[in-house]
Amino acid sequence: MVDNRWYDRRALTVCADITKRTEQVVKIPRLILAWTAIATAPLFAVPPAKIALQGGRIIPVVGDEIPKGTVLIENGKITAVGAEVKIPYDAVAVDVSGKVIFPGMVDAHFSRGMDRANENAPVTPFLNVYDSIDPSQRVFEDALRDGMTSLHVIQGNNTVIGGMSRVVHPIGLTPEEMTQVPNLALKISMAPKRGSDRMVQLATLRETFAELDDYLGDLAEKKYEESLKEKDEKIDVGPEEARKRGAKLIKFEDYDDKHANLVRLTRGELPAFVYCEMASDVTRAIAMAKKHGYFDHMVFVLGTHCYKAIDELKAANRPVVLGPELVHRERDSLTGELRETFVPKVFVDARLTFALLPSPDTSLAERYLNYQAARCVRNGIARSRALKAITLYPAEALGMGDRIGSIEPGKLANLLVLSGDPLDFTTWVEKSYINGIEAYDRSKDVRLKRLFGKEPSETKAKNDDAKPDSPKEKSEAASDTPKGDEAPSDEPKHDKSKQAEPNG
Amino acid sequence: MRRLRIRVYALAALVCCGLPLSASRAQSPSAIVAGRYVAPDGTLVSGKAIVLSDGRVSGIKPGGEVGEATGVVHYPNAVVMPGLIDLRSTLGSVGATVTSKKAVDPDICAFDAVDWGHRDFAIARSAGITTVLIVPSPVNLVAGRAVVAKTVDSDSRVLRREGPMVLSLGPAVWRYDREPTSRSGSLAMLRSVLDAARRGEGPPRMQALVKGGLDSMVYCAEAMDVDAALRVMADVAGPNVLVYTGADLDVADELAGRGTIVVVGPYTFDMRPRVLALAGALSKRDIPVALAGGIPEMGRDSLRMTAALAVRYGMDPAAARRAITSVAAQAAGVAGRVGSIAPGRDADLVIFSDDPLRLDARVLAVYEGGVRVYADQEAMRSASRG
Amino acid sequence: MNEKANLGSWSITLLAAGCLLTMFSAAPASAGDDVVVLKAGVVHVGDGRAIEHAVVVVRNGRIAAVGPDVPVPGDARVIEMAEGSITPGLVEANAWVDPTDLLAPPPADAYTILNRFLHHHDPGHRDMTCCGSRCPRAYLHEAGKKCPICGWPDTAPRMAVGTNVGRVAVEQSSEVVPETRVLDGLNLRSPDFGRLARGGVTTAFVAPDTAAVIGARGAIVRTAGPMSQRVVREADAVQAVMSSDAFRRGQNNNLPMRHFVTFNTRRPVSRMGVDWVFRKAMYDAQRAGKGLPVSGADTPSPAALAALREILSGAVPVRMHARTQNDILSAFRLSREFGLPFTLVEGTEAYRCLDQLVSGHVPVVFGPIYVDAPGYRVYTGETDHNRVNTFKALLGAGVTTALSAHELRDEDGLARQALYAMRSGLKLEQVLPAVTATPAKLLGLGDELGTVESGKRADLIVWNGEPFAATSTPEVVMIGGEVVVDRRHG
């Protein structure tokens, strides 16, 4: 459960028309009062509409870094960024001196947070991750802690054609609250579904589109027939002409669930995230996309082997999302020598931008997206490029490059306050703002506190999740928050004397 | 009429007597003259005659000297090779040499498991293999003693009844139902057995082994087993022979200069190039390499195929020919009897239609102890037609 | 940095300069001397000191001089990293190494075929996945074909899989096998050593798999270099396992894996059993030492008894592997009972036993540091009370602690463990000794390794930035003066 004890519960509602046809856009979030169970909680009437983060080092990702400056947030958007910014009198000033302000990181392909990433059936364009997102999964809490502010929840790679994806914030109690952009894209995989092979995979794809054509033809014929029936006329043309005439009569509501999304896909109205495991998959992906009309809106999701198709990827010039495994390893069968290729470097050398992904294995260092960026810098990629690969480029891959991914006036206030440089692995996320509202505060992070040894007594530790905050606990917790850029200190002098252990 | 019958009978008797005579000329020649022969250094030398006497090679003479004397058999365009020696054989004992009750069982003897009348021996002869080392299955740490025998059907075929002692390191030795279950366990056990033997305790054959009275052949699955064998047996005699077919070519660094013979093979076409390059890599460092075929399980021609692949992947052809003859004989401890065409050695010879390293070379005839035990008339006819 | 340290570094400099002056003023390096000079922005000595713009002169595999103004012999090779730093080579105090060549496809060789003919089973240890568990498709792995489930053989394991290989790395015919040696089962050519070396680890104590209550004696090896110089010590400390690994690891314990009753079915299945096996072994060894007969179930073999007596006499050091507080206290109990000083390994809940560790002068080889438990640990249930600052707590309490990555490699190897330690609030000067000087001392190699000081072996790392930083790499790794890893040229 996204822990509701250490932030005031606010619903982030999307007031938009959720229909199949229109592209979803986040309208201005409604701010709703929420109270904790014990009503004497400190009162925040309405979250501040204007916040000025002052005195920190700003990494806007686009443009030069500002060694000491201010970011002004108004009504959920960034309205000013700079060394000298005029702050309105009614803005809440937050002192972030010594800290770094960084855009919230974006995960462009997140196949977790659902109960299962894929269905058994190979072709399922009618599914929607909305039905599967489980806001209570710890993975969302971890994402927030690790500095992610947008997650593109999408089906995994074990499919042929998957369902519709959604961009969410890692905070919220229902999928609606979490949604940032509903129904973003369709998932397609060129790599064989488990238990199958590439021939079957490609055959299934072709069959699907062939079946779509048949379906459209039949539908057109039927529409024409119906129109004639209405006018009480007889069919006087051949099937082909009937189809042509009938095609003009089809309205979008006529498509059934099974085909509606495919129709949009082939019309170029729906992006597709296409997973390619090997370089040869890239060739086939491009051919299939061009043939069936979705090439101009496809986004590549690539396995390490695909770096070998760099020329085709460059010619295609579509956004690229690189899988979390960044090193391709091959062993020479003759010499036994192991050859390792750092895949992002190949893309940088070919001047192709890409988005990075964090590893789904949470026991590894690569679970942190900024660590992945640091690996890139370690392997010779420019710092600015690496930082864009975890912020702006994934935003652009999601078609949201105008709204998130950098600290620029006009963009949504999805920001992080870091204790240090993002590429420094000793850095922690201190605060996270989503749509201008403080969504995460490390000083109140219960799980992190426990990991650092600030756990309450044993029995309470077991029941931690169930207990709500008490005001006393809250104020103690607040006073316990370490200021400055230190990690929360561990329990110190092994003091046997009874100390009120901080709860919360 | 009676006189005619007698004459016919006499003529028939003469013919019958005469036949063996003429046959025996081909069966037990006094000399063999062929296009080329394989010298002890493995090279092909032309224009020589191999003089035989009493089942042995008595000398090598220039071909012209022998000429058309009686008892001389000519194989024009052919190549004479010492009879091939297969060091990893289970002839006559397939499936009969597996026993894994005790990890250390030096009293086991492969000789006891061999069915000497098995027809596989004839097949081996037809492939040119005249001597085999039949091993107890290397599934025990100390697997027992191998037997070195000829493939000819004769009472004196066994060259060494209690041949090299076979030891084995590697996963084949591990079991669920007895120790050892791991490499470290195997080596701890081996160390304690060798220590006891050095102190004069334990099986007498192990004591003979550590004192040098019995030669050892150690099967190694991986390069680390080679390291271990050299390390653990450093204080005792040997190992004399290591059997290793793997991809770690740097074992050559430890083996160079030690005189340990390495038995490599069998090779098959689907093996990794690095493994196939092992024989050549070792041989280039002057490490004596013998090649093994694995008859009958690996097939009739496996030994020659192994040699051909070894040459294909870098082994010197002369070294490859030695590897299946003289070095193999050394490894089996019978180099004084077989393995090379030199005065004093047994006349175990194979007549090939061409260089035996060529896969299209056929076996024309096989001699063991100077007696022809196999002949492929069809092949000989087509070979003489050239 | 206090004055003493400054004085120390200055005196070293003066001493070095003095020696060098006398050595070099007369003539250049004598022919046959192999001299390498390393230059970097800062040299971290390994005991908390840092020397700016220092030069390290290496001669014939030893550090000859360290200091800012050391004269450089003219004909020496120079390795320079102006923006970088030099640290001692990392010493891994408890490596669980993949003992087999996991990444190579199995030899589809005639030996295996012959063995199949002769009715032998195929060793399945090469079919591990990257997380150390067996690939469900393991029996279908074929040479030359990539497995679609686990990516074998191309998957580079993040973790060495020796930890789950069980009977390959540890003798399983008994739970008490101190007569065996890890070195006998160790493949020094394993690519795992290459991974260790590329991660900056130059020396490693290779511990046995935690599958036996009293396991094999570990080996101290160098991770690269000529084979003849790889082994530093053939048989070092013996590892006793107090954690649940001792009864949880045997694959053959659980039906239906068990084909028939073997000695594996006798192994303990509980902590009581583990303690009992340890006690029985020690009691039997004591009795055997007094000439009394030993009997009963699980009597150790004579070779094992002899080895146990060596342990009891103190000739063989003891390590105890334990994660939970309960198991750590078990270790203390048994140690007291038999008078066996020990080193604690892993110690996930060591923060709960700080007093005992301090008063008992117990060194700890701690690691790995994690938020979510990596590999098989998750299934042991012993990581629930893990904290990310345990290492910091140990250092703070004054416990001699070495940091270890155990089986983790690459992005989670020892260098990253140091980085995790810094992430939990420690400084480089506190963390560096825990991966260099302290483990070197614990292994009894403190005179030879662990710091960048004149006279010690030239096991060094040249980083292209700050040591351990996420944006730095060990560009050059040197073992005994020989460069074994060089990432500088492409």
Question: Residue B19 falls within a domain, yes or no?
Answer: no
Same structural domain, B51 and B181 = no
CA distance C332 to chain A (A): 20
Partnered with residue A79 across adjacent β-strands are: none
CA distance C32 to chain B (A): 23
CA distance A227 to A251: 13
Compute the average pLDDT of residues B36-65.
Answer: 92
Find the CB nearest C370 among A329, A336, A363: A363
At A330, give phi and psi (nearest 5°): -140, 140
Residue A470 has pLDDT above 50, yes or no: no
CA distance A77 to A210: 46
Question: Residue C175 falls within a domain, yes or no?
Answer: no
Inter-chain residue contact B247 with A333, CB threshold 8 Å = no
Give the total number of structural domains in chain C: 3
Chains that touch C (3 or more CB pairs under 8 A): A, B
Domain that holds residue C137: 104-155
Same structural domain, C33 and C136 = no
| Residues shown for chain B | 386
**Full 3-state SS string of chain B:** CHHHHHHHHHHHHHHHHHHHHHHHHHHCCCEEEEEEEECCCCCEEECEEEEEECCEEEEEEEHHHHCCCCCEEEEEEEEEEECEEEEEECCCCCCCCCCCCCCECCCCEHHHHCCCCCCHHHHHHHCCEEEEEECCCCCCCEEEECEEEECCCCCCCEEECCCCEEEEECHHHCCCCCCCCCHHHHHHHHHHHHHHHHCCCCCHHHHHHHHCCCCEEEEECCHHHHHHHHHHCCCCCCCCEEEECCCCCCHHHHHCCCCCEEEECCCCCCCCHHHHCHHHHHHHCCCCEEECCCCCCCCCCHHHHHHHHHHHCCCCHHHHHHHCCHHHHHHHCCCCCCCCCCCCCECCEEEECCCCCCCCCCEEEEEECCEEEEECHHHHHHHHCC
C395 to chain A: nearest residue by CA? A492
Give the DSSP letter string of C292-340: ----STTPPPHHHHHHHHHHHTTSS-EEEEE-SHHHHHHHHHHHHHHT-
The pLDDT of residue A103: 98
Q: Does C130 touch chain A (CB under 8 A)?
A: no
Same structural domain, C110 and C223 = no
Same structural domain, B307 and B272 = yes
**What are the tens digits of pLDDT across the range C467-488?**
999 999 999 999 999 999 999 8
CA distance C388 to chain A (A): 6
Asked if residues C237 and C363 have their Cβ atoms less than 8 Å apart, the reply is no
**Lowest-confidence region among B164-173, B229-238, C81-90:** B229-238
At C256, give phi and psi (nearest 5°): -90, 20
Question: Residue C130 falls within a domain, yes or no?
Answer: yes
Question: Residue B8 falls within a domain, yes or no?
Answer: no
Residue C147 has pLDDT above 70, yes or no: no
Q: Does A375 touch chain C (CB under 8 A)?
A: yes
Inter-chain residue contact A334 with B273, CB threshold 8 Å = yes
Q: Residue B112, exposed/middle/buried by CB under 10 A (0-12, 13-18, 19+)?
A: middle
Find the CB nearest C118 among B98, B182, B265: B98
B273 to chain A: nearest residue by CA? A334
* Mutation target vs B (from C168, C174, C180; most B CBs, 10 A cutoff): C180
CATH number of the domain bearing residue C340: 3.20.20.140
Give the DSSP letter string of A192-237: PPTT--HHHHHHHHHHHHHHHHHHHHHHHHHHHHHHHHHTT----S
**What are the tens digits of pLDDT across the range A347-388?**
999 999 999 999 988 888 899 999 999 999 999 999 999 999
**What are the tens digits of pLDDT across the range A236-268?**
888 888 888 888 888 888 899 889 999 999 999
The pLDDT of residue C142: 59
Q: Residue C202, exposed/middle/buried by CB under 10 A (0-12, 13-18, 19+)?
A: buried
Same structural domain, C272 and C244 = yes
Same structural domain, C258 and C385 = yes
Inter-chain residue contact C372 with A491, CB threshold 8 Å = no
Same structural domain, B183 and B65 = no
Inter-chain residue contact B245 with C107, CB threshold 8 Å = yes
C396 to chain A: nearest residue by CA? A492
Domain that holds residue B135: 84-332
Same structural domain, B178 and B319 = yes
Same structural domain, B64 and B175 = no
The pLDDT of residue A35: 36
Residue B1 pLDDT grade (very low, low, confident, very high; cuts 50, 70, 90): low
Mean pLDDT highest for which of B5-9, B125-129, C110-114? B125-129
Same structural domain, B159 and B127 = yes
The pLDDT of residue B383: 72
CA distance B369 to B384: 25
Q: Report chain C's mean pLDDT, rounded to a whole number.
A: 80
**Lowest-confidence region among C18-22, C173-177, C211-215, C362-366:** C18-22
Of C416, C433, C449, the residue that ends a domain is C449
A337 to chain B: nearest residue by CA? B274
Inter-chain residue contact A494 with C397, CB threshold 8 Å = yes
Strands B158-160, A100-103: pairing is unpaired
Compute the average pLDDT of residues B50-74.
Answer: 87
CA distance A82 to A52: 11
Residue B98 has pLDDT above 50, yes or no: yes
**What are the tens digits of pLDDT across the range B244-266?**
999 889 899 999 989 999 999 89
Name the strand (E) or helix (H) holding C25: helix C3-26
Residues of chain B contacting C194 with CB distance shorter than 8 Å: none
* Mutation target vs B (from C98, C112, C118; most B CBs, 10 A cutoff): C118
Residue C6 pLDDT grade (very low, low, confident, very high; cuts 50, 70, 90): low
**What token pair was written down for A393?**
């480029």
Question: Residue C33 falls within a domain, yes or no?
Answer: yes
CA distance B365 to chain C (A): 28
Residue C297 has pLDDT above 70, yes or no: no
Which positions 186-245 of C are in contact with B (Cβ < 8 Å)? 186-189, 208, 216, 226-227
DSSP state of C11: H
The pLDDT of residue A263: 95
Residue C249 pLDDT grade (very low, low, confident, very high; cuts 50, 70, 90): low
Residue given tokens 């580079």 in the structure block: C156
Residue B339 has pLDDT above 70, yes or no: yes
Of A367, A139, A323, A486, residue with least CA distance to C370: A367
Q: Report chain A's mean pLDDT, rounded to a whole number.
A: 83
The pLDDT of residue C7: 58
* Mutation target vs C (from B102, B174, B183; most C CBs, 10 A cutoff): B183
Same structural domain, C201 and C258 = yes
Q: Does A334 touch chain B (CB under 8 A)?
A: yes
**What are the tens digits of pLDDT across the range C305-346?**
999 999 999 999 999 999 999 999 999 999 999 999 999 999
C-beta atoms surrounding B94 within 10 Å: 17
Give the DSSP letter string of C371-424: SS--TTHHHHT--TT--TTHHHHHHHHT--EEE--TTB-GGGSHHHHHHHHHHT
Question: Residue C162 falls within a domain, yes or no?
Answer: no
At B321, give phi and psi (nearest 5°): -65, -40
Of C209, C237, C182, C247, residue with least CA distance to C375: C209
**What are the tens digits of pLDDT across the range B264-306?**
989 999 898 889 999 999 999 999 999 999 999 999 999 999 9
DSSP state of C425: T
CA distance B376 to B358: 18
Of A250, A308, A332, A318, residue with least CA distance to A286: A318
The pLDDT of residue C251: 43
CATH number of the domain bearing residue B366: 2.30.40.10
Residue of higher predicted confidence among B59 and B381? B59
CA distance B115 to C435: 63
Give the total number of structural domains in chain B: 2
Find the CB nearest A423 among C144, C411, C471: C471
Compute the average pLDDT of residues A194-199.
Answer: 87
Residues of chain C contacting A192 with CB distance shorter than 8 Å: 148
Asked if residues C16 and C70 have their Cβ atoms less than 8 Å apart, the reply is yes
Residue A303 has pLDDT above 70, yes or no: yes
The pLDDT of residue A444: 93
ipTM at complex level: 0.78
C428 to chain A: nearest residue by CA? A426
Inter-chain residue contact C186 with B265, CB threshold 8 Å = no
CATH number of the domain bearing residue C41: 2.30.40.10
Same structural domain, B88 and B65 = no
Residue A8 has pLDDT above 60, yes or no: no
Same structural domain, B107 and B227 = yes
Same structural domain, C191 and C327 = yes
Asked if residues B196 and B202 have their Cβ atoms less than 8 Å apart, the reply is yes
% of residues, chain A, pLDDT over 90: 66
Residue B385 has pLDDT above 90, yes or no: no
A485 to chain C: nearest residue by CA? C425
Question: Residue B104 falls within a domain, yes or no?
Answer: yes
Same structural domain, C407 and C483 = no
Asked if residues A471 and A465 have their Cβ atoms less than 8 Å apart, the reply is no
Same structural domain, B103 and B66 = no
**What token pair was written down for C218?**
């570990």
Question: Residue B61 falls within a domain, yes or no?
Answer: yes
Same structural domain, C349 and C245 = yes
CA distance B180 to C212: 14
Same structural domain, C460 and C442 = no
CA distance C153 to chain A (A): 9
Residue A479 has pLDDT above 70, yes or no: no
Residues of chain B contacting A335 with CB distance shorter than 8 Å: 274
Inter-chain residue contact C388 with A452, CB threshold 8 Å = yes
Strands B48-53, B44-46: pairing is unpaired
CA distance A178 to A122: 28
Residue C24 pLDDT grade (very low, low, confident, very high; cuts 50, 70, 90): very low
Same structural domain, B45 and B144 = no
> Helices marked H in C39-121 — which ranges?
110-117
Residue A492 has pLDDT above 50, yes or no: no
Inter-chain residue contact C386 with A451, CB threshold 8 Å = yes
Inter-chain residue contact C423 with A425, CB threshold 8 Å = yes
CA distance C43 to C50: 6
Q: Report chain B's mean pLDDT, rounded to a whole number.
A: 89
The single-letter code of the amino acid at B351 is I
Residue C417 has pLDDT above 90, yes or no: yes
Residue A473 has pLDDT above 90, yes or no: no
Same structural domain, C328 and C437 = yes
CA distance A250 to chain C (A): 43
Same structural domain, B324 and B359 = no
C-beta atoms surrounding B168 within 10 Å: 26
Same structural domain, C258 and C332 = yes
Which positions 354-393 of C are in contact with A (Cβ < 8 Å)? 354-355, 370-375, 378, 386-389, 392-393
User: Roughly how many angstroms between the first and final C-alpha of chain C, as a whole number?
Assistant: 38
Same structural domain, B75 and B151 = no
The pLDDT of residue B35: 92
Inter-chain residue contact A335 with B274, CB threshold 8 Å = yes
Question: Residue C142 falls within a domain, yes or no?
Answer: yes
Same structural domain, C369 and C254 = yes
CA distance C123 to chain A (A): 22
Q: Does C217 touch chain A (CB under 8 A)?
A: no
Find the CB nearest B265 among C104, C110, C117: C110
Asked if residues C78 and C483 have their Cβ atoms less than 8 Å apart, the reply is no
Strands C201-206, C90-95: pairing is parallel
